[in-house]
């Protein structure tokens, strides 16, 4: 079995923190930078020219024959040979062999390697001065120095220049910018959302209305001598609308909204988070009345004592301390209110919750049926709905879904209608969207006949027990089309929201969850890996029954669950003997449920076969078809209320 899919958190994100920063280079500085580059370039060229010897009086190139002729004519006064190449000085100018118009007394030529003439004797005969150079002369010291250190020196110069500029530019510069550059992100935002865009959590809105009134007119409140809370902590499951609410408060009060996600503070460089916090508060106070919103506070606000910290959490701690300091350092009379959101209030550092800090806490609950309908209405404002759409009915079929899920649902329905080219969104689009949201998208997967049959029996086991066990949630659908992570799904959906669980109901769920495994065992005599999810559920429920809800007579009416953040270093709040007892009781309950499941399925083997065969033929069956195939009468609505759970069973 799997819980309803985790609500997708697709909130309207607060202002994107990665806004583009305008260039910090002032025009003057830019020019200087380019001049500097140009000079470097010129120096480079000059060195090159020197090395090539350009700029001396021209040397003509002559062919080797011409050279020999010039020697025998007695026109050559001296030569210098470097390996096979010869440069020389003539008495009268000689013409270049390629362009006869260029003449010079300086010439150069190349002696072919295969030449066998006795050049030396010939030169001697014509009284030519003979010099020779090492063909691989050692590079002069200054040159090799320039070559090896030149680039490095250039870099050092460039770096010095840049860092000087950075220092001059101060906070805006490249190197000095870490702590503060993001500060410009704390530009006030003025959200357009209001309380009209939030539904289903009216109590919370009422709580926050006071904050809105205060921000609208801080003076009015001061006059009466009361002080506003500095910090309000919104606590609630993901997707319940905490971020939305915070923005709506700012929107209602028409004040600037400075928002930051605490996870943004968690950065590699120690000290950055703290300086950002300082900056954030400074900016907001300057803009008062204003709201500071710290999202996902638990990212840095985790209790410092609870867990043994591994690795560098200095940054986290410093940031947290800075938040505490800042919150102590101002007075709410300034007109700044800090809102924060978390879904883990239990792990927050107690220091955050002290009076004068986040001393006002507001629980944001998942919406009930009416709330869900209201949320759906908000998110279908801009969707053309067909007359048959009944949002109250949609709300009735979606217990457990939160605001973000419902927004997704409306969107999914609209997309589905658009895909089929319809002019408006019909009830069927909504039902399809519910199925997709609750069961996951269908998946193409080639399964062998043996596998399909096994999955059909597994799901039939879940479904049949869902029908047979009193108090279980009604079975809405069973399918062996792979969806999401699951190979098959049985969807059981409570008739309405349930807020209290009875022991019977917990047992019914466990029996149902074990139905897949029991059916496989009954039919094939073996068990498969397909029941992994189911067993996880069973283990969890059984453990909670024993250790949390006091449903085991042997363990007694005690709650042995430890608070804290589930750290491995946490100590168990009970003895070894109790641990053993808990384990034994958990095991007993699970085994009793499995025995029940196997007994019921054995007794109803023919219905199990019928359901499995029908599934193999039809892939999916809805509630009416399941009842028809099994011949079971629809159960009377369960008397006792129970869980806001949408349970799907999945064979994997």
Interface positions with ligand ADP (CB under 6 A): 9-12, 198-201, 236, 238-244, 341, 375, 378, 403-404, 407
Stretch that binds Zn ion, among 360-368, 401-409, 511-519, 542-550 (CB under 5 A): 511-519
3-class SS of residue 554: coil
The answer to whether residue 343 forms part of the interface with Mg ion (CB under 5 A) is no
CB of 345 to ligand ADP, least distance (A): 13
CB of 438 to Zn ion, least distance (A): 16
* 160/163 Cα distance (integer angstroms): 5
- At 272, list the tokens: 């950055």
The answer to whether residue 488 forms part of the interface with Zn ion (CB under 5 A) is no
Report the residue number whose CB is nearest to Mg ion: 243
Nearer to Zn ion, 207 or 534 (CB): 534
Stretch that binds Zn ion, among 99-107, 182-190, 512-520, 605-613 (CB under 5 A): 512-520
CB of 243 to Mg ion, least distance (A): 3
- At 228, list the tokens: 């506003």
* Residue 534's binding partner out of ligand ADP, Zn ion, Mg ion, none, with CB under 5 to 8 Å set by partner kind: Zn ion
Phi then psi for residue 36, to 5 deg, are -60, -45
Place of tokens 């050692």: 138
- From candidates 534, 585, 596, 598, binder to Zn ion by CB under 5 A: 534
- At 477, list the tokens: 């659908």
Stretch that binds Zn ion, among 38-46, 471-479, 495-503, 527-535 (CB under 5 A): 527-535
* 508/502 Cα distance (integer angstroms): 10
Phi then psi for residue 295, to 5 deg, are -85, 155
Nearer to ligand ADP, 244 or 253 (CB): 244
* 618/615 Cα distance (integer angstroms): 5
Return the half-sphere exposure (C-beta side, CA atoms, 13 A cut-off) of residue 634: 10
Report the residue number whose CB is nearest to Zn ion: 516
The answer to whether residue 651 forms part of the interface with Zn ion (CB under 5 A) is yes
* 201/244 Cα distance (integer angstroms): 12
Burial of 92 by CB count in 10 Å (0-12 exposed, 13-18 middle, 19+ buried)? exposed
* 53/106 Cα distance (integer angstroms): 14
Q: 652: which residues sit within 8 A by CB, 6+ positions away? A: 485, 486, 487, 529, 530, 532, 533
CB of 261 to Mg ion, least distance (A): 8
CB of 651 to ligand ADP, least distance (A): 32
Tallying the residues shown for the chain, one arrives at 652
The DSSP output letter for 302 is: B
For Cα atoms 44, 46, 50, give the angle at the middle one, nearest 5 degrees. 120
Stretch that binds Zn ion, among 20-28, 35-43, 170-178, 644-652 (CB under 5 A): 644-652
Nearer to ligand ADP, 13 or 540 (CB): 13
Number of residues that bind Mg ion (CB under 5 A): 1
The answer to whether residue 512 forms part of the interface with Zn ion (CB under 5 A) is no
Report the residue number whose CB is nearest to ligand ADP: 403
Burial of 479 by CB count in 10 Å (0-12 exposed, 13-18 middle, 19+ buried)? buried
Stretch that binds Zn ion, among 201-209, 348-356, 626-634, 641-649 (CB under 5 A): 641-649
Nearer to ligand ADP, 240 or 380 (CB): 240
The answer to whether residue 516 forms part of the interface with Zn ion (CB under 5 A) is yes
CB of 277 to ligand ADP, least distance (A): 21
3-class SS of residue 110: strand
* Residue 201's binding partner out of Mg ion, Zn ion, ligand ADP, none, with CB under 5 to 8 Å set by partner kind: ligand ADP
Nearer to ligand ADP, 10 or 99 (CB): 10
Stretch that binds Zn ion, among 228-236, 337-345, 510-518, 607-615 (CB under 5 A): 510-518
Stretch that binds Mg ion, among 187-195, 238-246, 266-274, 382-390 (CB under 5 A): 238-246
Cis peptide before 479 (omega within 30 of 0): no
* Residue 378's binding partner out of ligand ADP, Zn ion, Mg ion, none, with CB under 5 to 8 Å set by partner kind: ligand ADP
* Residue 264's binding partner out of Mg ion, ligand ADP, Zn ion, none, with CB under 5 to 8 Å set by partner kind: none
3-class SS of residue 292: strand
* Residue 643's binding partner out of ligand ADP, Mg ion, Zn ion, none, with CB under 5 to 8 Å set by partner kind: none
CB of 401 to Zn ion, least distance (A): 22
* Residue 315's binding partner out of Mg ion, ligand ADP, Zn ion, none, with CB under 5 to 8 Å set by partner kind: none
* Residue 649's binding partner out of Mg ion, ligand ADP, Zn ion, none, with CB under 5 to 8 Å set by partner kind: Zn ion
* Residue 516's binding partner out of ligand ADP, Zn ion, Mg ion, none, with CB under 5 to 8 Å set by partner kind: Zn ion
* 391/374 Cα distance (integer angstroms): 9
* 569/303 Cα distance (integer angstroms): 14
Our separate counts of H helices and E strands in the chain read 23, 14
CB of 399 to Zn ion, least distance (A): 21
Give the E-state strand segments of 425-517 in sequence order.
475-479, 488-492
Q: 452: which residues sit within 8 A by CB, 6+ positions away? A: 480, 616
**Number of Cβ within a 10 Å radius of residue 560:** 18
Nearer to ligand ADP, 252 or 459 (CB): 252
* Residue 651's binding partner out of Zn ion, Mg ion, ligand ADP, none, with CB under 5 to 8 Å set by partner kind: Zn ion
Catalytic residue among 264, 326, 459, 520: 459
With beta carbons less than 8 A apart as the criterion, state whether 109 and 64 touch.
Answer: yes
Q: Which of 34, 100, 29, 21 is nearest to 62 (CA)?
A: 100
- Residues facing 647 on adjacent strands: 492
The verdict on whether 459 is a catalytic residue reads yes
Site track 243-282 with Mg ion (rule: CB under 5 A), x = hit: x---------------------------------------
With beta carbons less than 8 A apart as the criterion, state whether 249 and 339 touch.
Answer: yes
Residues that bind Mg ion (CB under 5 A): 243
Residues that bind Zn ion (CB under 5 A): 516, 534, 649, 651
Kindly list the catalytic residues.
459
């Amino acid at each position: 079995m799997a819980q309803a899919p985790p609500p997708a958190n697709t909130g309207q994100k607060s202002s994107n923190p990665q806004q583009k920063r305008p260039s910090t280079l002032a025009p003057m500085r830019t020019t200087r930078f380019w001049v500097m580059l140009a000079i470097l370039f010129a120096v480079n060229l000059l060195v090159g020219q020197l090395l090539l010897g350009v700029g001396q009086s021209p040397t003509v190139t002559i062919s080797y024959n011409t050279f020999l002729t010039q020697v025998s004519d007695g026109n050559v006064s001296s030569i210098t040979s470097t390996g096979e190449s010869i440069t020389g000085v003539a008495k009268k100018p000689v013409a270049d062999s390629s362009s006869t118009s260029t003449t010079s007394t300086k010439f150069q030529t190349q002696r072919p390697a295969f030449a066998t003439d006795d050049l030396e004797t010939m030169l001697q005969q014509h009284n030519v001065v003979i010099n020779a150079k090492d063909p691989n002369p050692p590079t002069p010291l200054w040159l090799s120095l320039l070559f090896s250190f030149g680039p490095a020196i250039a870099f050092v110069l460039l770096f010095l220049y840049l860092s000087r500029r950075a220092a001059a530019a101060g906070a805006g510069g490249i190197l000095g910018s870490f702590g503060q550059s993001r500060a410009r992100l704390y530009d006030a935002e003025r959200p357009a959302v209001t309380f009209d865009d939030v539904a289903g959590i009216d109590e919370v809105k009422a709580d926050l209305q006071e904050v809105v009134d205060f921000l609208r007119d801080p003076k009015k409140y001061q006059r009466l001598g009361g002080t506003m809370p500095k910090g309000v902590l919104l606590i609630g499951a993901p997707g319940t609308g905490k971020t939305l609410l915070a923005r709506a408060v700012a929107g209602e009060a028409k004040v600037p909204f400075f928002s930051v996600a605490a996870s943004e503070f968690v950065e590699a460089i120690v000290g950055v988070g703290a300086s950002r916090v300082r900056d954030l508060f400074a900016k907001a106070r300057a803009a008062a009345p204003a709201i500071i919103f710290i999202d996902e506070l638990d990212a840095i606000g985790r209790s410092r004592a609870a867990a043994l910290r591994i690795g560098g959490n200095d940054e986290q701690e410093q940031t947290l301390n800075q938040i505490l300091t800042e919150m102590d350092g101002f007075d709410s009379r300034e007109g700044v209110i800090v809102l924060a959101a978390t879904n883990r209030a239990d792990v927050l550092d107690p220091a955050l919750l002290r009076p004068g800090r986040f001393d006002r806490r507001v629980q944001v609950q998942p919406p009930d049926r009416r709330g869900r309908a209201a949320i759906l209405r908000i998110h279908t404002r801009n969707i053309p709905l067909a007359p048959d759409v009944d949002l109250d009915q949609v709300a009735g079929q979606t217990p457990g879904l939160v605001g973000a899920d419902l927004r997704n649902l409306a969107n999914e329905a609209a997309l589905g209608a658009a895909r089929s080219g319809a002019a408006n969104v019909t009830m069927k689009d909504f039902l399809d969207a519910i199925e997709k949201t609750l069961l996951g998208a269908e998946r193409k997967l080639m399964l062998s006949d043996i596998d399909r049959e096994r999955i059909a029996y597994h799901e039939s086991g879940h479904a049949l027990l869902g029908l047979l066990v009193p108090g279980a949630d009604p079975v809405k659908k069973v399918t062996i089309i792979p969806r999401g992570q699951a190979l098959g799904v049985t969807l059981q959906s409570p008739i309405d929201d349930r807020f209290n669980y009875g022991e019977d109901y917990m047992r019914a769920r466990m029996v149902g969850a074990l139905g897949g495994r029991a059916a496989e065992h009954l039919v094939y005599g073996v068990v498969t890996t397909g029941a992994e999810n189911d067993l996880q559920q069973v283990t969890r429920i059984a453990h909670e029954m024993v250790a949390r809800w006091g449903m085991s007579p042997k363990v007694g009416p005690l709650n042995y669950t430890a608070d804290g953040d589930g750290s491995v270093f946490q100590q168990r709040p009970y003895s070894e003997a109790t641990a053993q007892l808990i384990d034994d009781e958990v095991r007993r309950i699970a085994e009793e449920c499995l025995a029940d499941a196997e007994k019921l399925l054995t007794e109803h083997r023919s219905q199990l076969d019928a359901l499995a065969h029908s599934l193999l033929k039809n892939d999916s069956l809805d509630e009416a078809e399941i009842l028809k195939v099994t011949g079971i009468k629809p159960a009377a609505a369960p008397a006792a209320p129970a869980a806001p759970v949408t349970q799907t069973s999945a064979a994997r």
